[in-house]
Every structure is written in structure tokens, then in C-alpha cells.
Structure 1
Amino acid sequence: MTTFQQREKVRFASGGTSCAAWHYPGTNGGCVIMAGGTSVTKEPASDRFAPLFQEAGYAVLAFDHRGFGESGGTPRQVVRVDEQVADWHAALACAAGLPGVDPDRIALWGFSLAGGHVFRVAAEDPRVACVIAQTPLVDGRAIAPHALRCMTPTAALRLFGRGIADALGALVGRPPLLVPTAGPRGTVASLTTPDAMDGTRALDPEGRHTGWEQTVAARIVLQLGGYRPGRQAPHIRCPLLVVVCDQDQSALPDPAVRAARQARNAEIVHLPGGHYAPFLESHEPAAKAELAFLRTHLSTRP
């Protein structure tokens, strides 16, 4: 069971609403901003890694994107990638003002969909000192055909039908049509890849996060195929660590490796296992690599 040192709830403004976050105070001036992908809220996203970063001396700011978890914003459970990227920029401003945080020593940590967001944020904001992208979704166009092959034809048609109905309903103010974030093959879910169902076992094995709603608005199926944040890699000037899992069936390792090779200063760490392996069987080497990266690039910054 994860144990926590001191942490406190904080809130920051983003896009006219309020985002909720956990602040773990640090001791060395560095700070790591963390968030998870799709519908993953701040606790399941960060509970395995945030205490390790804090023990190493870094402050942590782990937050919920607007419309998810304890953050404000309506409609709920709707992924809007531009708004989520704006939330990251707002989190950067919040972290820079936290007690004991050096504004020039702020890192980003994201996994899955948020692992793609951090490519964009780092390319856009020179305040970012370094970035950790863990099993990131960097190229929706590359992974969409594989995701579709992991669905039965009937389930895929039903998912796209629900996605279209959800998008049309949004135009007239109807509530979102929700689908499970992950499900077994044959069900109508956002992802039915072989490792998609590992999420609960990896992120909430003890069932403590009772408020974590593992659903997402169905319109996501119409959006993510065109989301390609990895294309921003050549514009990232700060050090970048990309952690890929060689059997990842949800985000796929090859697009992330290709994106990392386009960055100016990138390291690639290969781990065995599926999409959630850094929270499961590959947790120890993932944590070791990420802490070593932070010690190198966040302990001091010219």
C-alpha cells in the first residue's frame, strides 16, 4: 500500500474553471507536474510515483484535467485535448508559485494520453526544465488502425455510432453519451486492446479510488485518430525521457520511439510489458530510470 508524506489539496484556475490538485512539498526546489490519460484522475495516475519523487526531494503537483475528478467544468468526462493542454500550462503557472519551488526547475510527467500532451506543452512553454513521457500516445493516426483491429466489427460500428450521436447531441446541449474507457474485445468501449483492461489492476489494485469514474464521452473515438502531439518533438528544447513498453498494445511503442528520435535531447528507455507495466511488473526499473533522469536534469538547471 502506498504511503504518503505531507500533501495538501490546492486549486488553480484554467479556462474559467478550477482544477483540483495534490501538492506534495519538496525540499530541493524542483517540482514535477503529473497527470494521467483519458479518464484517469490524479490519485490513480500519480500515487505510485509521486511519493517516490517527493522522497527524492522534489515537490509534486498532481492534477485533474477540467471535467474530470475533482476539477470543475462541464460537461463531465469529455476529453477536449486543447483544453487539457491549456490545463497543463495553468498547472505550470501554479507550480511556479508554490512555496519552495524554483520556477526554472519544473518538470512534466504524463502517461498515455497525457504523455502526448506533455510533448505539446514542452514545445510551447520555455519554462519546462525537462519532461517524462511514460507509454505516451503520440500519434493517433498510427495507433487507430491497431485499436480498430482489436474490436469486433459489430462493436466498432456501435462505438462509432455512439460517437457520432454524442457529437451531434453536444451541438444541441445534450449530456454526453458515455462509454467505458476500457473493455474486453466485443464490448462497446473506448479501448479494447489486450492490455487495456489492466488499468484497474495497475492503478487501483486495492479499490481505494471509489470516485474514479472509468468512463469517457463517446465522441473521443472521432477525435484521437487525428491527435498527433509527437509531431511537436523537434520543437522541444529541454531534455526528454520517453519510457516505452515493448508489448504495449494501447499506445504502441514504435510511434513514441520515432517521435523521441526527432527531439533534440531525448533518452529512450525500453521496458518489458504492456501499457501499464510501469505500474506493475516494470515499476522498479521505470521508477529507477525516471528518478535518475530527474537527478540529472532537475536537480540543477543552468
Structure 2
Amino acid sequence: MYKAFLANPQPRERWVAENGKKRAICDPQWKPFYGSLAPKSQAYALHVARDLLNYLASAGYLKGNPLAFMALENGATEAARDQAARSGRRKALSRDDWAAIKETINQMPEGTAAQRFQKARARWVFGLLFATGARISDLRGTFGDLHADSVEGREVWIWSIQGKGGKFAQLPLPSPVVQEMRRVRRAMGIPALPLPGESTPLVPREAETNRNRPQTRQGLDRIIKGVLRAAADRLDGDGVPDQAERIRCASAHSLRHTAARDLLDSGAPMRVASELLRHADQRTTQGYTAPEVQQMLDALNRRSLHWD
């Protein structure tokens, strides 16, 4: 029955977008389908459903998986991977969107010390998200997670991350991001470069009395969403409603998708991009040799934040 539904979702007025028009997921008129799914997309949906039921069965919520013995079409795994990649690319923002976000941040006021800190913090947060493809949870670390290393005779700042699923990774920071790190630390009135074992949060709180307390996930989301809303409002005022809606509906994870696409579009090898983004098929603990770090740094440095 579910397979037949995927091939022809009914009732169409409930499940299928009118005239196949794509809308943002936050739009009240959004629908999950734009028409009947292609065979590969049907296979992907069934593959996801079977994996979910398998988890529920193994966790004891179900006595068994009713789809366990369903034979999926050949190439279902490949279809699932292709669909996931295309989905991520669709969620990515364009370079024009990124330019609009940067312009909004650059227009933030700097009249007071608090305003200078807020602006520097926004540049630091969005620089990290766009340049490295970091997850929002990665930003809850401390400056003690950063250390300088020598790679082929050059000083490189390395970010050690305990990420999703407990996976450990070490990412090199490109030069523009290191500059933003210096900027935000100067705005905080602390040395431009981190000290070993420093406990200062990567993204400090607003009040100076709370600077040593890390942001909550909700606090980080407020910072990011605040900038995105401001960018969208500015675009609305400039008469660009479609771009405004896209940015207003974006999130920190949209910037991760954006980083993934931009890395590949900038010529980064697939293997290097996968390691930078810490995708699920990578080793649990990643110990990079100097050449690997250099390749990742070269891939990152081929791009620029272009703040000014």
C-alpha cells in the first residue's frame, strides 16, 4: 500500500503541491510531494522506512520489521545516496545568498564596545559555519580546542572537535577564519591567539560577566537566526522577496550544506571534502598526516570569505 502511495500520492490536494510549485518548508502551503515519485525515489523512501522499522524492532518497540523481507529494487542504496546528496544541495544557499548575509553582518553598528563584540562574534560564527561546514553543536566548544601546529613549515591552527556520534576530528582553519578569531578575541579584550587549555567559549555570551559561560544550543540558534532574519528583512526592503524567503527559512545546517557544495564547486577532491565535513563513512578517530592536513588547508584557502 505504501509503495502504491509513493507511486501515486492520494488525495493529491493533501500531499502534492499545486502545479508542482516548490515552496519553503516553513510556508503554510508547503506539500511533501511535487508529483509521483520516480522509481529511484520510491526505492529510497522504502529503504529509509525499512531502516527505521529495523531500528524500532531492535530497540524493542516492535516485535519485528514488516519490511525486513521486502526486496528493494536493484540500486536502492545508490539511489538513497544520490537522493541524500541532491537533497543537501537543494538546501544549500547560493553564493548570492552568502553575499547578502555577509553584507548584513558588515552593516551591523560598531558605535559601542558591545556592538563591536556582537559584530565580531557574528563574523566569527558565520565564518566558521561557512568555511568549515561545522555543525551548530561544534560551536559549543572552547578556544582550548584550538592549537597551533607546524605543517610543512607553516603555522596552522587546528580545531579539535568531538562531533556527532562521538567522532573525533581535527580540522585546519583557513587564514580568513583565523583572522576572524583574532577579531572576536580583540573585541572581548583578550589576547588575539588562544592559550593552551583555555576555557573561554568559542562563542561567548552577551554580557561581559557571562563571557566564560558557553552558549546554549538555543542561544547559538538565536544568534544565527537573528542574522538570517535581518538579512531577509533587508532583502524584502530591496524588493527581492524570493531570496528573502529562502534566507529567512535557512538555518545553521543550511550553511553546512552550503559549505559542502561550495567546497566541491571550488575544486576540492571528494575525499578531502568528505573528511572536512566528517561524513558518516569516515573513520571514528581521524589522525591526519601532514600532507592530508595540507590538502585540506589548500582546499579551504582556495576560497575566501570576502568580508570587505
Length-normalised TM-score, structure 1: 0.25
Higher share in strand: 1
Q: Find the structure with the greater CA-based Rg.
A: 2
Higher share in helix: 2
